Structure 1
Amino acid sequence: MLILVTNDDGIHAPGLAALAEELGRLGQVAVVAPDRERSATGHSLTLHSPLRAEEIRPQWFAIDGTPTDCVNLGIHGLFRERPALVVSGINRGSNMGDDITYSGTVAAAMEATLMGVPAFAVSLAVVSEQQADYRPAARFSAHLAQALLERGLPRDTFFNVNVPCLKDEQLRGARLTRQGKRIYGDLVIENTDPRGRKYYWIGAGDLDFKDIEGTDFHAVHRGFVSLTPLHLDLTNYSSFDALSTWDLFANET
């Protein structure tokens, strides 16, 4: 049984190493990850340039592309055996609420699901690398991986997992959650460089979440591991009744 592991923090990220080590207790682990940090790349795919894969140690490949590229190569190009499971992470920092639309970590699990391979993304809600202990998140990931290998997932569904930055004994358990809502502040900062030219820094403003019961943020903020089932169909079915009254959609006579 082959378990494919990837991330968006890069091949040398400590969260990736902790995850691969723990999953190695369940089966053969292959790591295919970007050769450098590729955070916030979303579900981007490299189409206009070739990709190179460097095997930096047995079954560990560094790719000069995105997390989505890595999953594609891991499933279709690098190994004879098709992975039984894809796990993406452990990301440095949470991926909750609207942030999942930007996340390369989440996109890697999405890509695996598109390819018909069960998957989940896992992130550690940590602010700084100095306080990060990835081992509890890695152990929980192995427990979840075992469950997925035994039970599977509903069609076109994958898990987005967020783990509080706590010790094993401090974690209060796991909750099935829905995607929360981000509160956006001033996301773009304008400044001037020493040559007098303006530059802009995106994502430097203050951010927060709405503390709504049942959401990923609400669970993680209270010491629970959050498991949010995501699916590939983005259609807003609840909008059909309201939108069908538009003149654009008049019935044919």
Structure 2
Amino acid sequence: MKILISNDDGYRADGLGALTEALAPLAQITVVAPDRNRSGASNSLTLEVPLRVLPYGERRYFVVNGTPTDCVHLAISGLFAAEPEPDMVVSGINDGANLGDDVLYSGTVAAAVEGRFLGLPAIAMSLVVGADSGRHYQTAARVAVEMVMRVQRSPLHRATILNVNVPDVPYEELRGYEATRLGFRHRSEPIVRSEDPRGRPVYWVGAAGGGDDAGPGTDFHAIANNRVSVTPLQIDLTRHSMLDDMREWLQGREP
């Protein structure tokens, strides 16, 4: 088996190292990761400047001056043209949650999405760290191994991406796995205004809001109960249930 690994925290991130070490006994690993932290990059592609790919270290480890989506796109669409494609894409381990609406911004999830766009099974792995976090990357790495083995034994529907969030606790304190839906966050905190050294205004995006729709069945609820949240994602954003109403609305009638 061949696994392509990427992330959005950058090629030197602890989570990426833990994931690579954990999956190495299972498969031939190729890492293609951004040259710096690209958290929040979502599904962006670099189109206006050329991308450079540099080897790093002694393994099959490559660094790209682009986004997580760039990394996966390059790796599958020609960077290794003389070789068979990978069998799977695994992204992470993200240093932080990708719960609820986080998935729309997440570079970690975007890397997995790009893998699925290009026809491969894909898993996004995140460790839900907190202010006093123990950074239990080994817990998330062990969960990643279990998830990869499950997908190998029982392949999922072709359109499925797995968004996996792992509580930041020792592995022995996990209370199992739970199939979840995405919850929703409260509105984010206000922007933070500051000044640069020359007195000019600068702004920071405010912190993400806490869980709003976070009841039983959601990814937020699973994490709060020390359970691994596994959310199947799909790319089709169409609100199919509204199509008939939309047709009537376009014809001038109230839905």
* TM-score category, normalised to shorter length: over 0.9
CA distance in 2, matches of 1:208, 1:222: 16
1:250 deviates by: 6.3
Partner residue, 1:208: 210
Partner residue, 1:53: 53
Trace 1:1-253 onto structure 2 (pairs within 5 A).
Answer: 1-57=1-57, 58-79=59-80, 80-127=83-130, 131-193=134-196, 195-204=198-207, 207-210=209-212, 211-246=214-249, 248-249=250-251
Amino acid at match of 2:79: L
Amino acid at match of 2:179: L
CA 1:188–1:22 in 2, change beyond 3 Å: closer, same or farther? same
CA distance in 1, matches of 2:70, 2:188: 32
Q: TM-score, normalised by structure 2?
A: 0.93
User: Does structure 2 retain, via aligned residues, the 8 Å contact 1:94–1:125?
Assistant: yes
CA 1:128–1:11 in 2, change beyond 3 Å: closer, same or farther? farther
Count of residue pairs the alignment pairs up: 249
1:101 deviates by: 0.4
1:196 deviates by: 3.8
1:34 deviates by: 0.4
CA distance in 1, matches of 2:74, 2:188: 38
Percent of residue pairs bearing the same amino acid type = 48
Deviates more, 1:216-225 or 1:231-240: 231-240
CA distance in 1, matches of 2:185, 2:133: 25
Deviates more, 1:118-127 or 1:194-203: 194-203
Gaps of 5+ in 2: none
Amino acid at match of 2:75: G
Q: TM-score, normalised by structure 1?
A: 0.93
Residues 61-96 of structure 1, C-alpha deviation per residue, up to 9 Å, x if partnerless?
Answer: 011100001101111223212000100000000000
1:187 deviates by: 3.1
Gaps of 5+ in 1: none
CA 1:20–1:128 in 2, change beyond 3 Å: closer, same or farther? farther
User: Does structure 2 retain, via aligned residues, the 8 Å contact 1:85–1:149?
Assistant: no
Residues 154-175 of structure 1, C-alpha deviation per residue, up to 9 Å, x if partnerless?
Answer: 1211100000001111000000
1:178 deviates by: 0.3
User: Does structure 1 retain, via aligned residues, the 8 Å contact 2:163–2:232?
Assistant: yes
User: Does structure 1 retain, via aligned residues, the 8 Å contact 2:134–2:169?
Assistant: no
CA distance in 2, matches of 1:140, 1:195: 48
User: Does structure 2 retain, via aligned residues, the 8 Å contact 1:15–1:91?
Assistant: yes
1:5 deviates by: 0.5
1:107 deviates by: 0.3
User: Does structure 2 retain, via aligned residues, the 8 Å contact 1:180–1:215?
Assistant: yes
CA distance in 2, matches of 1:113, 1:30: 17
1:199 deviates by: 2.0
